[in-house]
Amino acid sequence: MKPRHVLFALAALGVASISHAAVSPVLVIHGGAGVIKRDMTPAREKAVRAAMTRALQDGHARLEAGKSALDAVTAALTVLEDDPNFNAGKGAVFTHDGRNELDAAIMDGYTLRAGAVAGVRRIKNPIVLARAVMDRTPHVMLSGDGAEAFAQSIGMRLVDPSYFRTGERWQQLQKALQEDAAKQPHADVETARHFGTVGAVALDAQGHLAAGTSTGGMTDKRWGRIGDSPLIGAGTYANSGCAVSGTGWGEFYIRTVAAHEICMKVTQMRVPLKRAAAEVINQEIPAMGGNGGAIALDADGHISIPFNTDGMYRGWIGGDGVPHVALYGDEDDGTAELPQPAPAESIAQP
């Protein structure tokens, strides 16, 4: 019997749902972790919440239309890259030399295909280029001029590097440079150095997961520094049972291979998502001196958003299509009330 006929036969028996499990789509996003205090201007807070909400709605609309988790992640991150309030695309932080060098990655949990770009300077939406690397090249990561040459070869228009510049990010660099010169890192700048990256994880109606992350990296970065965001396994990872996007001090996410570590705990060791994510974000990374947060999603739609910083821009949207957005550490993001797998699923302690 041809596969199509098998499906018809199963449908007749009322069990066709086994090939299209009735999964309620979920999308989770972040806009970076760091010192987030209630001293933001009301206008800024409103703009951030509006952008997060729009990103959730755009991504969710894709999922509702039956599009893939990859499409939802790409759509949500494009909205955030275009918004100057985030450290990705327009509004990215500056390097020591006063440039914007952007990193992004995307991964398809179903096929384990991945695409990434690092150190690009003229790509308006790095997440779209990362997706093209995955879909249209035999490679996983392209960097710098080569990545831009590839973008041109597929008809992507390059933008002038001045497109990414915002006055606020420029001032952050000036402050960091002064403190570099005085060799006295200032707490505010130190934390501003790792804040504003954007990420998304999604579960589509087919039950497939995807993850993506986009960033300008860290203010005052030097010598072509590349962080965790575009590194598959460090800041971005998805497989058939777990998807993660991280944000924080990238060097620590690289050294702990944070996103992969969380997913391996979930899919190989059967640790419940929430515990797996907390072990890495709230224990392993701070124990090494790093900080940050992550968004994590499993194949049953469980969400976990741990962070060890004051706050984290975060949001999610589920089957009912209601967007939830939270910025501050003590703000209820609604995930605590969501069902989580029973602790009994966790591995037995020796």
| Positions marked active-site | 197
Please give the residue ranges that form the binding site for ligand ASP (CB under 6 A): 32, 194-197, 215, 217-218, 227-229, 235, 247-248, 250
CB of 194 vs ligand ASP, minimal distance in Å: 4
Strand bridging mode 114-120 / 102-108: antiparallel
Residue 13 or 223 having the CB closest to ligand ASP = 223
Q: Which residues contact 225 (CB under 8 A, 6 or more apart)?
A: 95, 217, 218
Residue nearer to ligand ASP on the CB measure, 110 or 253: 253
Q: Which is nearer to ligand ASP, 127 or 299 (CB)?
A: 127
In the complex, least distance from residue 104 CB atom to ligand ASP, rounded to whole angstroms: 11
The string of DSSP letters for 211-274 reads EEEEE---TTB-TT---STTSBTTTEEE-SSEEEEEEE-HHHHHHTTHHHHHHHHHHTS---HH
CB-wise, 227 or 301, nearer to ligand ASP? 227
CB 189 within 8 A of CB 172: yes
306 and 294 in contact (C-beta within 8 Å)? yes
How many degrees, rounded to 5, is the angle at CA 111 between CA 16 and CA 253? 130
Q: Which two tokens stand for residue 295?
A: 């968004």
Return the number of the residue (194 or 302) whose C-beta is nearest ligand ASP: 194
CB of 248 to ligand ASP, least distance (A): 5
Instruction: Write down the least CB distance from residue 125 to ligand ASP, Å.
Output: 17
Are 313 and 48 a contacting pair, CB within 8 Å?
yes
Q: Does residue 281 contact residue 294 with C-beta atoms inside 8 Å?
A: yes
Q: What distances in angstroms separate CA 246 from CA 94, 199, 254, one per listed residue?
A: 20, 7, 10
Measured from the CB of residue 41, what is the shortest distance to ligand ASP in angstroms? 21
CB of 144 to ligand ASP, least distance (A): 16
Q: What per-residue string of b and e applies to 206-233 under the rule 16 or more CB within 10 Å gives b?
A: ebbbbbbbbbbbbbbbeeebbbbbbbbb
For residue 132, give Cα distances in angstroms to 117, 141, 267, 324: 10, 11, 28, 30
Residue number with CB closer to ligand ASP (29 or 299): 29
Cβ distance to ligand ASP smaller for residue 286 or 341: 286
Smallest gap from Cβ 215 to ligand ASP, in A, equals: 5
Q: Which residues are CB-contacts of 260 (< 8 A; sequence separation ≥ 6)?
A: 232, 233, 234, 237
Positive/negative CA dihedral, 280, 284, 290, 291: positive
118 phi and psi angles, rounded to 5 deg: -135, 140
User: First vs last Cα of the chain: how many Å apart?
Assistant: 49
State how beta strands 236-238 and 102-108 pair.
Answer: unpaired
